[in-house]
Amino acid sequence: MAAGPGLESLVDQTISVITNDGRNIVGVLKGFDQATNIILDESHERVYSTKEGVQQLVLGLYIIRGDNISVVGELDEELDSALDLSNLRAHPLKPVIH
Amino acid sequence: MKSNSPPPRTVSSFHFRRIYKQTQKTHPPFLGRAIEIMLFFSYFKDLVGREVTVELKNDLAIRGTLHSVDQYLNIKLENTRVVDQDKYPHMLSVRNCFIRGSVVRYVQLPPDGVDIELLHDATRREARGG
């Protein structure tokens, strides 16, 4: 019944998920459902701070509950490899306030 | 994956009404959701292909071309750029994204994308009971 956009086109692609608490998790989308619950393989979290460069924490195989997801972005590998993460300073994203 | 070719770019009342009627047939009102959502769903479908800026509840603002929308008003944008890229470099390498409907605060539309009279009309009709 669900027409319109699904995450189907992003399966097996590297994606960047922004969660409601402001975290950024990058991984390979393996599965999803109607509630936008997501299965992410080879995932790592990118922690942004103003004091040091971007930290990458390896997480592995994750299920992220749909309630907690804000944005699912398709990561462009070329653009991503051009980024110098160790020199990137930024405030962490704000949490979602309903 | 179905390809979504954008409809002809006329924001004419005829076109919107057709999509609205179509949506009523394919998406009968579902449990617990207001019938008004049908109206905005149809309205966004009419806007596919336009540039919009989506402001989220975490203050992030993403500009892009509206690719598609679904019954939950989840939005898929193409060719995305974050509005304040220096402040929010978190999505620098993302060009297409899926935004969950529940985190959208505003959808900023092109001024010529809004036919106020039409929406006003349709909303009045909804309020009256369809």
Q: What pLDDT, on a 0 to 100 scale, did the predictor assign at position A6?
A: 83
Q: What pLDDT, on a 0 to 100 scale, did the predictor assign at position A19?
A: 96
Q: What pLDDT, on a 0 to 100 scale, did the predictor assign at position B6?
A: 52
Q: In this structure, are residues A46 and A85 in contact, taking their beta carbons and an 8 Å threshold?
A: yes
State pLDDT tens for residues A57-95: 999 999 999 999 999 999 999 998 988 888 888 888 999
More confident residue, A20 or A6: A20
Cβ-based neighbours of A24, under 8 Å, separated by 6 or more: A16, A17, A18, A45, A46, A47, A48, A93, B90
Find, among B56, B82, B83, B53, the residue nearest to B66 by Cα.
Answer: B53
Does the pLDDT at position B1 exceed 60? Answer: no
Which residues on A lie below 8 Å from B40 (Cβ)? Answer: none
Structure tokens, A5 = 């956009």
Structure tokens, A37 = 């619950």
Q: How confident is the model at residue B4 (pLDDT cuts 50, 70, 90)?
A: low
Task: Give the whole-angstrom CA distance, residue A68 versus residue A35.
Answer: 10
Q: What pLDDT, on a 0 to 100 scale, did the predictor assign at position B53?
A: 95
**A87 inside 8 A of chain B by CB:** no
Task: Give the whole-angstrom CA distance, residue B95 versus residue B64.
Answer: 9
State pLDDT tens for residues B44-81: 998 999 999 999 999 999 999 999 999 899 999 999 99
The pLDDT of B99-112, averaged and rounded, is 92
Q: How confident is the model at residue A44 (pLDDT cuts 50, 70, 90)?
A: very high
State pLDDT tens for residues B18-34: 877 777 777 665 544 56
Task: Give the whole-angstrom CA distance, residue B114 versus residue A89.
Answer: 39
Q: In this structure, are residues A92 and B88 in contact, taking their beta carbons and an 8 Å threshold?
A: no
Q: What pLDDT, on a 0 to 100 scale, did the predictor assign at position A54?
A: 86
User: In degrees to the nearest 10, what's the CA dihedral of B43, B48, B49, B50?
Assistant: 30
Distances (CA, A) of B52 to A95, B93, B120: 23, 19, 21
Q: In this structure, are residues A38 and A10 in contact, taking their beta carbons and an 8 Å threshold?
A: no
Determine, for residues B58 and A3 on separate chains, whether the beta-carbon distance falls below 8 Å: no
Q: How confident is the model at residue A2 (pLDDT cuts 50, 70, 90)?
A: very low
Determine, for residues B91 and A7 on separate chains, whether the beta-carbon distance falls below 8 Å: no
Which residues on A lie below 8 Å from B76 (Cβ)? Answer: 5
Selected residue of A7, A15, A18 to mutate for chain B interface (largest B Cβ count, 10 A)? A18
Q: What average pLDDT does chain A have?
A: 90
Task: Give the whole-angstrom CA distance, residue B10 versus residue B30.
Answer: 30
Q: What is the ipTM of this complex?
A: 0.90
Q: What pLDDT, on a 0 to 100 scale, did the predictor assign at position B32?
A: 44
Does the pLDDT at position B3 exceed 60? Answer: no
Q: What pLDDT, on a 0 to 100 scale, did the predictor assign at position B25?
A: 76
Task: Give the whole-angstrom CA distance, residue B28 versus residue B38.
Answer: 9
